[in-house]
Structure 1
Amino acid sequence: MTSRPAATARARSAAVSALVPVLVAALASVLALAGCTSTSGEPVVATPGAGLPAATAAPTSALARYYTQKLDWKKCGNLECADLRVPLDHAAPDPAKDLTIKVARVKALDQSKRLGSLLVNPGGPGASGVAYVRNGAETIGGPQVRRYYDLVGFDPRGVGGSDPIDCLGDKALDRFLATDPTPDTPAEEQAWLAQSKDMAAGCQAASPDLVKHLSTADAARDLDILRAAVGDPQLNYLGKSYGTFLGSTYADLFPKRVGRMVLDGVVPPDLTSAELGEGQARGFQIATQSYVEDCVKQDCPLGSTPEAALKGLDDLFQEVDRQPLPTGDPSAPLLTEGWARIGVAVALYDQGSWGILTDALREAKSGNGQSLMQLADAYAERRPGGGYDGNLMESIYAVNCLDRPDSPNLSAYEKYAKDFSAKAPTWGANLAWGALPCGVWPVKSTDLPHKISAPGSNPIVVVGTTRDPATIYEWSKRLRDQLDNAVLVSFDGDGHTAYGRSNTCVDSAIDDYYVQGRVPKDGLRC
């Protein structure tokens, strides 16, 4: 990587604002590397599986009213937007309790040869698909994909504009995120336990019915209603990060309805809470190692060798824990270890932001926490000066804790921290203790981690990046091996997810799959 100049305050602020939250794909930087070239020509319409029901066929008669609804598209800025009705409880639909799913689309450029809709989810859980399409439609797929597909984004239930769950006030959420995420004394453990209980209790108090129905399986059933509403007999889908969990859950529930599906940066549905934390700790450790190896080629503020720089980062976290740094923001005047770790983590999602991180760390070493706080704000969708633009930092727990419950015993997290840190010294304790809210979550779900196979589905394309910080490469291989009909495309590189941000080899293979129906060779490496 070439050296990038130090950012001005204005340029750094603009760059920071482009960064997106944890487990959200498609950060701003796109690297065009040598690789395969596209052979996309005229579009090839997918052939539905034998005996496939009509697009509006509902799994049960009680759901028929939802499957036959028509979307009323209206202009909303550079998009068309509509509302989708879904039942709060798919097993017992009650029109009085219906939820509203916000949907947005950019229509295919060539409507005469349109292949249908490509439904997209950027991750989270808790990221807005409406915002994803609004702000990045030109980066979702190549020109041929955008020519032949309507791009459709949606906010899953409880997220963004779709009956969002709101668990904590802004100040309370600030306190939650600022709390020491690596407690090493009984008092610090109790402080984090108290904050975890506040988050859990707040979600239940704010939305006592909704909080019971925010699992990924619930959202996958909504996704099938949306598929019917856009008129497609099968689901054409792009899921990134958590969106792969949503997509693979859909495939397991509705395998015959899978059209052309890409799952990029995989979160396998059979991961337990502990496996998720341990894997992410290792992933961020690998990404941090790549970052410091690059940092020392420049004027690195952490040290002159990778080993020294890695220790320098660990030391900085400890120093900020002991003595938080001023941020210049009266609404969050101190950069705590909690905020600092968030700021560093988000910059590891894309190697294009490493220069921003280096500048921020240099400032922090000099006693100024402003830039790291700006990075943390971008991660949390927090406005400098206070307030949040979305509910990512609440919905991520509301969904994850239904999908992956954990232990209520502090001793379990002490053991996690020890075990994770043996493999990931910088991030192990952080990711271990991060699951504590799920240990005290007030609602238990029947949709627990399990292997999926999606028998009878069309071919599913799984994409993995070898040094992905948030969704480790082995998870992509794990899901590929579980699915009955899938291929694996691997990108040897850095950053979170690959399609649309890595190289032409990955992009061409996926574009050809969507437009031509040409399934990539299993084991393709880019």
Structure 2
Amino acid sequence: MALRTPTGASTGDALRQVRAGLPRKAAGRVVGCAAAASLLLGGPAFAAAPAPPAATPSATAGTAAAPTAQGPLKWATCPAPSQAQGGGKAPGTGWTCATLYVPLDYTKPGGKTIPLALIRHRATGPGKRIGSLIYNFGGPGGSGVDTLPAFTPTFAKLNTRYDLVSFDPRGVGNSAPVNCLTGPETDALNAVDSTPDTPTEVRQWMEATRNFAAQCTKKSGPLLPYLTTTNVARDLDRIRAAVGDKKLNYYGFSYGTELGGTYAHLFPRKVGRAVLDGVMHPDKDFTQGALYQLKGFQLALDHFARSCVAATYLCPLHRSTPQGVEKVLTGLVAGLEKHPAAAAGGRTLNDSLALTAIEGALYSPDSGWPRMASAVAAYLRTHNPAALLSMADSMTGRDAKGHYSNSNNVFSATSCVDFGVPVGKTEIERQMPAFRKASPLFGPQFAWALNQCTYWPVKGAMKHMEVSAKGAPPILVIGNTGDPATPYGGAKAMAQRLGKGVGVLVTWKGGEGHCSYGNGSACIDGTANAYLLDGKVPAYGTSCS
């Protein structure tokens, strides 16, 4: 069973992995463009890195010894990424890192604090430096410290006049990480059938969700009430001040659009130049968001199938109709539900992980679509599940040694404390026909994922996000008509909800994949660059094709 996002899930690892040819997670919340949407348990999972070492609740919650106020940030050479961020080498030349302490509880600013890990690349010139451009790559759960350096070429033009800055939001990576399960325990969770169709399987599914919540509470309970997007937005304002900017210049992908909209609502007169890309729908509640995102994934699946038949890329599935292509995938998943495939190291590929791999591939038409088609064809030919299992692992955040990142932990924690509601077996079964109708392949998994917050110790604070931002300057809102994780309607609604004269809608017609900037549209990139670098606000409704 994999954790999933409902209408928007992480861009952090998602953006990095999608463009590197690896899938990400989606379904429920926004997995950043690096992957994004509000994911629920049991569906496409947010691409992440290995899990961090377990932390005690007191350590997770920070210490009173660390001051709420601090002097100038002390930027220094970045260490190699921690296990929570995926391990590996330190960022390349020009990158420096710092730690900022912020209040755990903003109602008690003099109380306990937690550390936020920051990363920066100074402006390269030529041209006058504008300030810092702060990024959030989605999730909730994506590591900005890990992701931003991987996109140095993508943001090179912006880097001429901005310091590029990102951070691990509270609970993520090196910022007071949320800890829940060990690697083997997460493997066992992902082995549970996320589309249960017998009473025994239903009990196992609900019990797995209960156990996950219990372990998160046991290991990170004191931190969980404070992982709201509102608190992250307040952290973002502390970062703005710490880097010396009077106004926040911001680029938010996927879940980062919810964060950016929340910031604009809280601090409308502190907004500088801001872009929201791959936009979560501001009006959808917990259940509506899951169904809304499901329809986006089905649309992307239809586009993949048509492209496969039209031979717009080398597709080894060799079917004459899009329906035939989708039937291959449905048959694959049905077969794995009855007979999971044995893999190396004692692992197995079940239907749940196969769905995770397929969903993740839909984030990227350039790399994910052909990779998924090849992996499916290879399995049908040889019954070797290695390629599909690898794709699923990249979505669930599992490395070759069996370590997981904590991105899915944060996804659940923030999703549940923001909007989560208890959804039990009876309500899921009531919703099932609508979910099956929206997508015969993905619908059951998305529906059962609605139980994500049923046993969570902290209940949702609101029905949907609040983003009205009267008094803010124009904010670019970029929507992609083929986006699977954050369907285009979210961009239209966000532009309207921000307020007249604030939300400026820009549309990429005919675009595919999650988010828009850096995905192949010179028009989108040029429009965003002109706004961020020169302050040129496009006309509302500007369209790129």
TM category, shorter:
0.7 to 0.9
* Contact 1:108-1:147 within 8 A present in 2 as well: yes
1:53 is matched with none
* Contact 1:339-1:373 within 8 A present in 2 as well: yes
Are the structure 2 counterparts of residues 111 and 83 from structure 1 closer, same or farther at C-alpha, using a change threshold of 3 Å?
farther
Counterpart Cα distance in 1 of 2:355 and 2:288: 21
| Structure number, greater radius of gyration | 1
Distance apart, 1:223 and its partner CA: 0.5
Are the structure 2 counterparts of residues 218 and 270 from structure 1 closer, same or farther at C-alpha, using a change threshold of 3 Å?
farther
Which of these residues, 285, 288, 304, is aligned with residue 291 of structure 1? 304
Are the structure 2 counterparts of residues 67 and 223 from structure 1 closer, same or farther at C-alpha, using a change threshold of 3 Å?
farther
Distance apart, 1:430 and its partner CA: 1.4
Identity, in percent, stands at 37
* Contact 2:70-2:101 within 8 A present in 1 as well: no
Are the structure 2 counterparts of residues 522 and 147 from structure 1 closer, same or farther at C-alpha, using a change threshold of 3 Å?
same
* Contact 1:236-1:258 within 8 A present in 2 as well: yes
2:455 is matched with 440
Distance apart, 1:445 and its partner CA: 4.1
* Contact 2:283-2:493 within 8 A present in 1 as well: no
Which of these residues, 129, 132, 141, is aligned with residue 117 of structure 1? 132
Counterpart Cα distance in 1 of 2:402 and 2:20: 16
In structure 1, runs of 5+ residues without a counterpart are 1-12, 28-64
1:74 is matched with 76
Which of these residues, 266, 282, 287, is aligned with residue 253 of structure 1? 266
Taking the TM superposition and a 5 Å limit, the aligned residue runs for 1:76-115 are 76=78, 77-78=91-92, 79-95=95-111, 97-110=112-125, 113-115=128-130
Deviations 1:114-160 (A, max 9, x none): 100000011011010011112212213x51x1100000010000011
1:486 is matched with 503
2:171 aligned partner, one-letter code: G
* Contact 2:137-2:255 within 8 A present in 1 as well: yes
Are the structure 2 counterparts of residues 201 and 117 from structure 1 closer, same or farther at C-alpha, using a change threshold of 3 Å?
same
2:487 aligned partner, one-letter code: I
Are the structure 2 counterparts of residues 162 and 200 from structure 1 closer, same or farther at C-alpha, using a change threshold of 3 Å?
same
1:137 aligned partner, one-letter code: T
Counterpart Cα distance in 2 of 1:159 and 1:123: 12
How many residues are treated as equivalent by the alignment? 471
Taking the TM superposition and a 5 Å limit, the aligned residue runs for 1:353-502 are 353=367, 354-366=369-381, 367-388=383-404, 390-484=405-499, 485-492=502-509, 493-502=511-520
The question of 1:222 aligning with 2:240 is answered: no
Which of these residues, 245, 260, 264, is aligned with residue 277 of structure 2? 264
* Contact 1:68-1:229 within 8 A present in 2 as well: no
Counterpart Cα distance in 1 of 2:71 and 2:541: 41
Which of these residues, 165, 176, 199, is aligned with residue 189 of structure 2? 176
Distance apart, 1:418 and its partner CA: 1.7
Q: Please give the secondary structure, in 2, of the residue aligned with 1:312.
A: helix
Counterpart Cα distance in 2 of 1:374 and 1:410: 31
* Contact 2:120-2:164 within 8 A present in 1 as well: yes
Are the structure 2 counterparts of residues 264 and 87 from structure 1 closer, same or farther at C-alpha, using a change threshold of 3 Å?
same
Q: Please give the secondary structure, in 1, of the residue aligned with 2:204.
A: helix
* Contact 1:67-1:229 within 8 A present in 2 as well: no
Q: Please give the secondary structure, in 1, of the residue aligned with 2:492.
A: helix
Are the structure 2 counterparts of residues 17 and 386 from structure 1 closer, same or farther at C-alpha, using a change threshold of 3 Å?
farther
Are the structure 2 counterparts of residues 322 and 15 from structure 1 closer, same or farther at C-alpha, using a change threshold of 3 Å?
farther
Which of these residues, 25, 28, 33, is aligned with residue 25 of structure 1? 33
Deviations 1:153-211 (A, max 9, x none): 10000011111101111111112223222222222211111111111111111111101
2:348 is matched with 334
Deviations 1:29-86 (A, max 9, x none): xxxxxxxxxxxxxxxxxxxxxxxxxxxxxxxxxxxx7466421100224310000101
Are the structure 2 counterparts of residues 336 and 349 from structure 1 closer, same or farther at C-alpha, using a change threshold of 3 Å?
same
The answer to which of 65-74 and 275-284 deviates more is 65-74
Which of these residues, 505, 508, 511, is aligned with residue 523 of structure 2? 505
Which of these residues, 326, 341, 344, is aligned with residue 310 of structure 1? 326
Counterpart Cα distance in 1 of 2:473 and 2:71: 26
Distance apart, 1:440 and its partner CA: 1.8
Distance apart, 1:404 and its partner CA: 1.6
Distance apart, 1:420 and its partner CA: 1.6
2:350 aligned partner, one-letter code: T
Counterpart Cα distance in 1 of 2:448 and 2:154: 35
1:276 is matched with 289
Counterpart Cα distance in 2 of 1:296 and 1:108: 46
In structure 2, runs of 5+ residues without a counterpart are 1-16, 36-66, 79-90
Q: Give the aligned CA root-mean-square deviation in angstroms.
A: 2.0
Distance apart, 1:268 and its partner CA: 3.1
* Contact 2:23-2:394 within 8 A present in 1 as well: yes
TM-score (normalizing by structure 2)? 0.83
Distance apart, 1:474 and its partner CA: 0.6
Taking the TM superposition and a 5 Å limit, the aligned residue runs for 1:31-42 are none
Which of these residues, 338, 342, 349, is aligned with residue 363 of structure 2? 349
